[in-house]
């Protein structure tokens, strides 16, 4: 076999690369081929920086700075209200089966303790004499979707806001699910016939 200088150089390179795999941990710093990428001037947290007038190394963002993806510039979507402050009439999200299931999951986690699994207020806390509003009341049925959203977003009277626990898409999913609960708990015979369901099946014998 003809051993060329290319072979020798390749072998040497290989040996060099393998020598980096020492097989046992070492306390020594690794060999850096590009020094300047590793050791750059920097300031530790809370350290003073004479460059700035206020000497703070940790800079505060310029006023009005918004983190990427956090520009909540669509009040209908983020706050449930129109430009004029009135509640959004109908859910701006695409309502699909999986969206409703998502809403059911979130509702069951965050709302059932007070409003109950059916939304009628028959809930664990009601056993202790604390009564949350029924979400099946005439009042709640005629609320615009944005008002239900706003109850989650801002809270309402004695109910706290759930905006930090539930993200914007999930809030709308819960709104859709509350609507589904209202429908399921208040379907008229007319509604059932429209869905080709025989109302006789559901008579309670009252």
Positions in the binding site for ligand HEC (CB under 6 A): 110-111, 113-115, 132-133, 135, 137, 139-140, 148, 151-152, 156-159, 162, 174, 178
Q: How far is the CB of 169 from ligand HEC (least distance, A)?
A: 13
Residues 6+ apart with CB under 8 A from 56: 48, 49
Which CA distances in Å does 42 have to 36, 49, 50, 57, 85? 13, 10, 13, 9, 47
Q: What are the C-alpha distances in Å from 137 to residues 105, 140, 181, 186?
A: 22, 5, 11, 10
Residue 37 host element (H or E): helix 35-38
CB of 198 to ligand HEC, least distance (A): 32
Dihedral pair phi/psi, residue 87, rounded to 5°: -70, 140
CA distances from 146 to 86, 161, 167, 194 (A): 9, 14, 15, 27
Q: Which is nearer to ligand HEC, 78 or 110 (CB)?
A: 110
DSSP annotation of 106: H
Give the nearer residue to ligand HEC in terms of CB position, either 82 or 134.
134
CA nearest to 116, candidates 137, 132, 92? 132
Give the nearer residue to ligand HEC in terms of CB position, either 7 or 139.
Answer: 139
Closer CB to ligand HEC, 110 or 187, in the complex: 110
Residue closer to ligand HEC by CB (options 155, 199) is 155
């Amino acid at each position: 076999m003809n051993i060329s200088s290319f072979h020798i150089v390749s072998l040497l390179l290989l040996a060099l690369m393998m020598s980096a795999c020492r097989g046992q941990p070492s306390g020594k710093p690794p060999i850096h081929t590009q020094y300047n990428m590793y050791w750059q001037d920097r300031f530790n947290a809370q350290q003073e920086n004479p460059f700035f007038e206020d000497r703070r190394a940790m800079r505060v963002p310029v006023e009005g700075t918004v983190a990427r993806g956090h520009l909540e510039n669509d009040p209908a979507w983020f706050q449930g209200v129109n430009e004029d402050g009135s509640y959004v009439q109908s859910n701006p999200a695409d309502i699909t089966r999986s969206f409703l299931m998502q809403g059911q999951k979130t509702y069951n986690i965050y709302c059932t303790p007070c409003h109950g699994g059916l939304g009628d207020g028959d809930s664990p806390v009601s056993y202790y004499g604390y009564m949350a509003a029924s979400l099946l009341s005439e009042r709640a049925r005629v609320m615009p979707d944005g008002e239900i959203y706003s109850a989650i977003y801002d809270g309402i009277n004695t109910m706290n806001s759930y905006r930090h626990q539930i993200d914007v898409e999930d809030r709308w999913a819960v709104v859709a699910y509350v609507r589904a609960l209202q429908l399921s708990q208040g379907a008229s015979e007319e509604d059932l016939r429209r869905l080709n369901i025989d109302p006789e099946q559901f008579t309670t014998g009252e």
